[in-house]
Structure 1
Amino acid sequence: MKILLPLFAILLLSACAPKESVMPSYDLTTAEVIHRYHEAVTSVTSFEVNITNTQDQNTSSTNTTMKISLDPFIIYQVTNPTKKSSEAYISQHDYYIKDKGIWYKLPKTLHQDALQKLLQASFFNIFTDETESVSSIRNNDTYILKYNHVNEDFKVLPFPTKSAEITYIIDESNYLPLSVVIHYTTEESPTTIHTIINRYSRYNEIQSLFIPEDIEKKAKPLT
């Protein structure tokens, strides 16, 4: 069974009380936007993200919706490729995936590897280390942050790329992301071009996210 896990949506956030944002009357610098952005995400305890992954001008497309609770850390994921769909529950300790109507539990070795990739794939880290490579503009009620990179040592994406461009759309009212668009070109031959669009919503609105007990009891071990 092929396990498809979007690695681009997991935001490493710590839970605390929400903070109010004060909108300035002037355009912020890129560093100021990034600072407010990092301050804002510390207030997030849950959110939803819709992910569209398109390869080579719509020749292949996958749509995924993820509901994410950060405390406790649980993800409910529904993936809808062209001809089939799958579901998954992921926590820090367990990973359950539904395939052809049957729930399976991944072995600890596969689960830990998948979770580690999720943690490594956080896009919040790039602005901390690569601020000088980020440009920003103010557009109506948003800030647009753009990161361009062409380098074999580019470590933001969890796989080798020849080039990548990452664009954040930040809500000026609270400095939380509305969407993230990732364009990248793969290194393997033949080269493929991918576009990933993450649309974020329902900040701090998702409650009672848990792995159903019947899934935990009935899931078959995946070997």
Structure 2
Amino acid sequence: MLKIINLVSLITVTILGAILGGEYDNPVHLTALGSLIVYCIVVQVLLERNKDIQSERDKAKDELELTNRKLSELLYQSNQYGENRLYLAVHPLGGGALTNSTPAIIQIIMNAPFGISPPPDIKLLTNENWGALTICGRSVYAREFGARWEYLFSTSMITNLENTSNKFFLAQVGVQFTRSGIYEYTVEAQSKDFQSKISNSFEVA
């Protein structure tokens, strides 16, 4: 709508300028023409500002859609065997980047379709020794099996996020990576009702 108004105003200014010709020395005519020119400038500024606002909205919308898509991909990583699926999500606390030689917290979130008790045991499998991990104030060390290392977190180390339903569980694992690069892992969660696992990797700067 503003574009149409501005176009009409510009046409009006052009026509008035042609009609007035040499009558610009008339204060009334000059004031009217000047007002229309100022109006056109103001409308143009508003148009540009509206364009910037729309651009910011589109950018925010795209970022929101990207975030939702990543979250959906994260939450729906699950095992492909067994009838009952325990959905798993693994990500650094706060969502920030992981840095070499800097302590970090890795969150393992579990979501069951119905209440289970006790919480599942968690097994973390890695392609290299991640050193001593900490959970609930305790240190957990890896056991080596061939070319893999295995960390075990018992149910007593898992936090029930909603005591009334027994559906949401959290394990917060402290780790400090000793080099930059890619760290691959597999997380397995197992209870009498579920056996789920996901595989992924962390990139450490």
Task: Report the TM-score range of the alignment, normalised by the length of the smaller protein.
Answer: under 0.3
Task: Report the structure number with the largest CA radius of gyration.
Answer: 2
When the two structures are superposed, what TM-score results if normalisation uses the length of structure 1?
0.26
Higher helix share: 2
Higher relative contact order (CA 8 A, sep 6+): 1
Higher strand share: 1
